[in-house]
């Protein structure tokens, strides 16, 4: 049992998809993915506190989020305890949400990853990132990537990771339009159609190897944009065009959306774009690559 109160604070950075491809459906019902992932500085803030006692409680500043095991942060704590046998004592998890919810930015998965890293440090469990990522894979497909972060090629369900040369440092504007997207619905739609285009993943990998930001930006692509319902696709395309007209080197939807992001070489042009776009899109963020 924990013999004294311990506290740790940690960040849960957002994830963006520089590319996203769906290669097909596997026999187990999951889809075979191929994605270039990038973490950015925009983050949720987590505080983990353990003290003598037992039980797990979670609080957030968004009242509509679940606070039981349906929340991936709680699921991660339970998975950590099951895998390691660690005594969590009375564990309190506090999440200050900065990432938009249901935006395609892996907010819940990143919270789960932050819990795994935080508990590992708080309890001196001594696990390495590979072991933490393995635990994360039992919680959600994006959690292993969020444990490691950086720039990576993700395959399988998203849990098979290959580190890549880092994206050259850039500034990023992210805008989330005010409508939800159903991830299961998009996967159903993608199963029922032949995709007309696929991202040039190999080209993105070459551009990363060369440190060519413009080469990466020219190749941003997400197949889920093609299967959005027509009105949603139009809104996403309008946001992409607004970012490009404001000076973005490239723009793309992330995950199953609906958040859209643009890459900028300098903070001045990114800030000007952020100020312009947020007049019509309340959930607009200015951040940078990690």
What are the catalytic residues? Answer: 15, 142
Work out the end-to-end distance of the chain between its first and last CA atoms, rounded to an integer number of angstroms: 37
CA 33/CA 47 separation, integer angstroms: 33
238-255 burial code (b ≥16 CB/10 A, e <16)? ebbebbeebbbbbbbbbb
* Residue 143 tokens, joined: 């959690």
The 3 state secondary structure assigned to 133-195 is HHHHHCCCCCHHHHHHCCEEEEEECCCEEEECCCCCCCEEEEEECCCCCCHHHHHHHHHCCCC
Contact 21/35 with Cβ under 8 angstroms? yes
Q: Which uninterrupted H or E stretch holds 5?
A: none
DSSP-derived secondary structure letter, 29: S
According to DSSP, the residues that pair with 22 across neighbouring strands are: 33
Task: Copy the structure tokens of residue 15.
Answer: 């994830």
* Cis amide prior to 258 (ω within 30 degrees): yes
Cα-based distances in Å from 35 to 16, 144, 153, 209: 10, 14, 6, 16
């Amino acid at each position: 049992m924990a013999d004294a109160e311990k506290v740790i604070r940690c960040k849960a950075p957002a994830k963006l998809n520089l590319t996203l491809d769906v290669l097909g459906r596997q026999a187990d019902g999951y889809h075979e993915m191929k994605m270039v992932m990038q973490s950015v500085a925009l983050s949720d803030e987590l505080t983990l506190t353990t003290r003598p006692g037992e039980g797990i409680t979670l609080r957030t500043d968004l009242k509509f989020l679940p606070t039981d095991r349906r929340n991936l942060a709680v699921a991660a704590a339970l998975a950590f305890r099951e895998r390691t046998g660690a005594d969590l004592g009375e564990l309190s998890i506090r999440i200050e949400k900065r990432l938009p919810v249901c935006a395609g930015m892996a907010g819940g998965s990143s919270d789960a990853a932050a819990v795994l890293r935080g508990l590992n440090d708080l309890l001196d469990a001594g696990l390495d990132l590979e072991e933490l990522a393995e635990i994360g894979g039992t919680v959600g497909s994006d959690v292993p990537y969020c444990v490691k972060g950086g720039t990576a090629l993700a395959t399988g369900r998203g849990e098979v990771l290959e580190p890549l040369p880092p994206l050259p440092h850039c500034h990023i504007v992210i805008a989330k339009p005010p409508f939800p997207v159903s991830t299961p619905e998009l996967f159903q739609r993608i199963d029922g159609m032949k995709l007309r285009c696929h991202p040039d993943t190999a080209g993105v990998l070459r551009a990363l190897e060369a440190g060519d930001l413009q080469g990466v930006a020219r190749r941003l692509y997400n197949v889920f944009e093609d299967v959005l319902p027509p009105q949603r696709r139009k809104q996403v395309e309008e946001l992409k065009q607004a970012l490009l007209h404001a000076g973005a080197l490239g723009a793309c939807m992330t995950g199953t959306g609906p958040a859209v992001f643009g890459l900028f070489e300098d903070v001045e042009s990114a800030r000007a774009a952020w100020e312009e776009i947020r007049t019509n899109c309340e959930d607009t963020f200015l951040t940078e690559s990690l």
